[in-house]
Structure 1
Amino acid sequence: MTNPPSERFFRIQRMAKTTLRALHILGVAGAGGGILLQVPDEHWRIYWIMTMVSGVLLMAWEVLRDWTWLIQMKGVLTIAKLVILMCFIILPEYKPALVTMIILLSVVVTHGPSSLRHYSIIHGRQIHGKDEIKG
């Protein structure tokens, strides 16, 4: 059994993740607005980079913390957002619709009920971490 993190470490970790989320939301707002309003790429590219970097870091954070995130709906839907994002390459004329789908999925992932977010597609039930998986 591991010792819980110290209160100071917990606060630093929480602030770091909150900062990453804030940068991610700012990036999505800038890039999403640029895409939706069909503004030239060079005006919102920095927001795009901010979104991608913070998104990768947030995903890595979740997977390293607990790999079961990948089989819970919150991870599966995040991966679905990445698949939609890749459609930007093959369907560039649909970027506004695709970014809208990504934003709507983000709301479900972030604000959906716990029963949805923690549902494991492998186990067919809610799991809240690797400790609940036998064997």
Structure 2
Amino acid sequence: MSTYDPHAERFFQLKRFTKTTLRGLHILGVVGAGGGILLQVADKQWLNYWIMAMVTGCLLMLWEIVRDWRWLIQMKGVLTLVKLGILMCFTIIPEYKPALVTIIILLSVFVTHGPSSLRHYSIIHRRQIHSKEEIKG
């Protein structure tokens, strides 16, 4: 028989609200910076959106890694790291920023809305991993 714990419920709701807020700000930052890049607007007009996207993206990544380090070996984490690699190409081949941001956005759709068989696939274990209990270590 389970008992209702109001403190646990409040903590869960706070975590959910915080992560949802971070995601919302991240999407706003990506839209602002991505729009500026795709429309080839002067950097200074979308720089604040870029900073917002980078800060919230790093916080969301950290959130996932702290929650469960296995995120890094699941496709959702691996593809996020691939997106970071593509972001680094902005400095190497800046003339391709519009194409690179398009690839990043499309990868984001696959990471977020792809089937769980893709998102939870472990590149190390070569199978889906849904919980900590499925593998040791």
Structure 1 residue 36 and structure 2 residue 38: aligned?
yes
CA apart distance, 1:21: 0.1
Give the equivalent residue in structure 1 for 2:98: 96
Give the equivalent residue in structure 2 for 1:51: 53
1:128 counterpart letter in structure 2: H
Structure 1: stretches of 5+ with no match in the other structure: none
Give the equivalent residue in structure 1 for 2:63: 61
Give the equivalent residue in structure 2 for 1:82: 84
CA apart distance, 1:69: 0.2
**Contact residue 27 and residue 50 of structure 1 kept, 8 A:** yes
**Contact residue 27 and residue 48 of structure 1 kept, 8 A:** yes
Give distance in 2, aligned partners of 1:37 and 1:130: 43
CA apart distance, 1:131: 1.7
Deviation sequence 1:91-126 (CA, Å, 0-9, x none):
000000000000000000000000100000000000
**Identity across matched positions, percent:** 76
Q: How does the TM-score come out when normalised to structure 2? A: 0.94
Q: How does the TM-score come out when normalised to structure 1? A: 0.95
**Contact residue 67 and residue 130 of structure 1 kept, 8 A:** no
CA apart distance, 1:9: 0.3
CA apart distance, 1:128: 1.0
- Which stretches of structure 1, 4 residues or longer, exceed 3 Å deviation after superposition? none
